[in-house]
Every structure is written in C-alpha cells, then in structure tokens.
Structure 1
Amino acid sequence: MRLPRPTRVPFGSPLQLLLLAGSFALAAYAGVRLLADDWLAVALWFAGAALLHDLVLLPLYSALDRALAAGSVAAGRRSWMLYVRVPAVLSGLALLVWWPLILGASADRYRSATGLDPNLFLPRWLLITAALFGGSALLLALRLRRATKHRSPAAH
C-alpha cells in the first residue's frame, strides 16, 4: 500500500509573501487612521453597507442577471451574456462608488471642499457607461465577424 505524499502548503514566492505582508500592513494602517476619529460611525457605515448589499443589491442584480440569462438562452445567444455583464458590472460599480456626486446629493460639500464643479460627474459617468457598452459591442461584432469568416468556405 502506498501512502499519500504530504501536501505542500501553497505559500507562493518570497515576493508574493512580501507584497501580501505589505498589503496587510497598509490595510492595518488605513484602518487605524480611519477608526481613530469616529470609530462608531465607521463601524455603522460598514454594517449598513453590508446589510444594504446583502439584503437589497445582491437580490436585485441576481434577478437582473437571471433575467438576462433566461432571455439569452431563449434567444439562443448565451455567448452574448458576458458582453452585457462586464460593462454593466463596471458601470454599476462606478455608480455605486460615486453615486452621491453623480446624483448631486453632495454637490455643495464637494464644491466647498475642492473648489471644483461637481456637475461633471453625471455626464462623465454616462460617457464611461456608453464607452464600456460601445467597446463591448465592438468586441462582440469582431468576434461574430471572425466566427462567420471561419464558418464560410474559402473562396478559390
């Protein structure tokens, strides 16, 4: 009977370990600095963000993704899903991060803190979203063109 070899613990290279330790040190420093002023407000914000994500956002974007998947399967176009998912996720992430400025909820505070015009966030977010979906549509068109070239017989 042959005994199994002991499994090797996947630590990675020394550079990876150094980068990981540096990342943890930076995160710990940022956490200490962030919690130094008003730790209760920060803790409440994190708890609220986790609850908002788990109870509202996750069911919402899961339902949207299932509807997209059902529609693409019904149309026989399952391969198109990533060309909609990726720009939608990136655009949604940008909206999630900058929603107070995109919707103008903190325009006065932003203007007083930076001296910059906060009214540019909505048009820029819309341009970024259009560029993401346009680039994705271009990639899909190139993929379909390449697929039809490979399927058609070579003309001699």
Structure 2
Amino acid sequence: MGDRSGQLVAGRLRAGYGAPWWHLLLLVGCFAVAGWVVLRLAGEATAVRMLIWFVAAVIVHDLVMFPVYAAADRALLTATRSAAATRSATAAQADVGNGSRPARLSVANHVRVPALGAALLFVVYLPGILRLGGGTFTAATGLTQQPYLTRWLLASVAMFAVSGLWLAVRLYRVQLRDRR
C-alpha cells in the first residue's frame, strides 16, 4: 500500500508541477546557491554596480541580441530549406523508378554550432580581441593583447572547418547508402 501511495503522490506532484520531483529538488538547490551568493554580496561595496551590470546584461540580451540571432537563425533555416528542397526535387527526379526516398540531411546545425562557439569565444575574450584596457593588461601580465584577434579568428576558422568536414563525411555516407 505504501508503494502505491508514493506513486500517487509522485503522480499528483508531476501533474501539478509539470516536471519530475528531481527537477524541483534541483531548482531548490539552485535557489539556495543563488541565495548564498546574494548574502555574500550584500556587504560588498560594489554590489549595486554588479546588480546594475546584471540587469543591463539581461536587457541587452533579451531586447537586442535575442532578436538579432533569432533573425539570423531564421534566415539560415530559410536558406538551407530552400537549398534542401531544390536538392530533394532533383534527387526525386533521379529516383523515379526505384521507389527510394532520398535521405534528409540538415545543414543548419553545421553552421549553428561553430557560429555559437565563435560568438562565445568573442564574448569571453572581447576586451583582448578589441584591445581594450591594453595598459592594464600589460601591467598585470607583461604581455600584449596583439595575438587575441588572430587566435580568435584561427579558432573560429578551425571550428567551421571541422564542422564542414563532418558535414562532408555525413554527405558521403548518405550518398553511399543511397547507392545501395
């Protein structure tokens, strides 16, 4: 009887909460850590500046950046779908007699993933790439910020190249499978 009542409580919790019990437990833990951080920062002289920076970052992301990268993603999907439709129409004409359906291969993620990696690297290393605070950087490290732009560009090219190679491998495998 105890097992049945436990399942009933878990079912009611999931129906009311909308997620499993461990999700609620994880959220409570996250709120506890966030509360601890707030208590630690409460005595800091720069706490108000940090709060202003955080709110500004949320506003800039939600009102500026999200619409920009959502529009870029929509354009990418439109471009790849129109290219895929042209490709599948040509393949369908070639496969009229054998009854096989050409495999769909999404190209969008092969652009999204390296673009996300390049964007994250850019945001993390933004001061170095744009050479902001060069005097402070040199005083603290004894180095210059000169190689940051080159290294970011090389890392971005490498991510796109690896993604392109993986796409080529996938296309080759699809072609081999379609020939069989």
TM-score range, shorter chain: 0.7 to 0.9
Letter in 2 for 1:108: G
Let me know the Cα RMSD of the aligned residues: 2.9
> How many equivalent pairs are there?
145
Equivalent residue number for residue 4 of structure 2: none
CA distance in 2, matches of 1:59, 1:73: 21
Quickly say closer, same or farther: Cα 1:74–1:108, change in 2 above 3 A: same
Which of the pair has more CA radius of gyration?
Answer: 2
Instruction: Please show how residues 5-154 of structure 1 align to structure 2 within 5 Å.
Output: 5-6=8-9, 7=11, 10-12=20-22, 25=33, 28-29=36-37, 32=40, 36-76=44-84, 79-153=106-180
CA distance in 2, matches of 1:86, 1:130: 12
Q: Which moved more, 1:44-53 or 1:26-35?
A: 26-35
Contact 1:35 1:42 in 2 (8 A): no
Q: CA deviation at 1:24?
A: 5.5
CA distance in 1, matches of 2:119, 2:154: 13
Q: CA deviation at 1:31?
A: 7.4
The TM-score normalised by the length of structure 1 is: 0.78
Q: Which moved more, 1:141-150 or 1:72-81?
A: 72-81
Quickly say closer, same or farther: Cα 1:31–1:74, change in 2 above 3 A: farther
The TM-score normalised by the length of structure 2 is: 0.69
What SS class does the counterpart of residue 62 from structure 2 fall into? Answer: helix
Report Cα offsets for 1:7-49 as digits up to 9, x if no partner: 277455xxx97xx959964983597259724111111111111
Letter in 1 for 2:58: A
Q: Structure 2 regions of 5+ residues with no counterpart?
A: 1-6, 15-19, 86-104
What SS class does the counterpart of residue 79 from structure 1 fall into? Answer: coil
Q: Structure 1 regions of 5+ residues with no counterpart?
A: none
Percent of residue pairs identical: 32
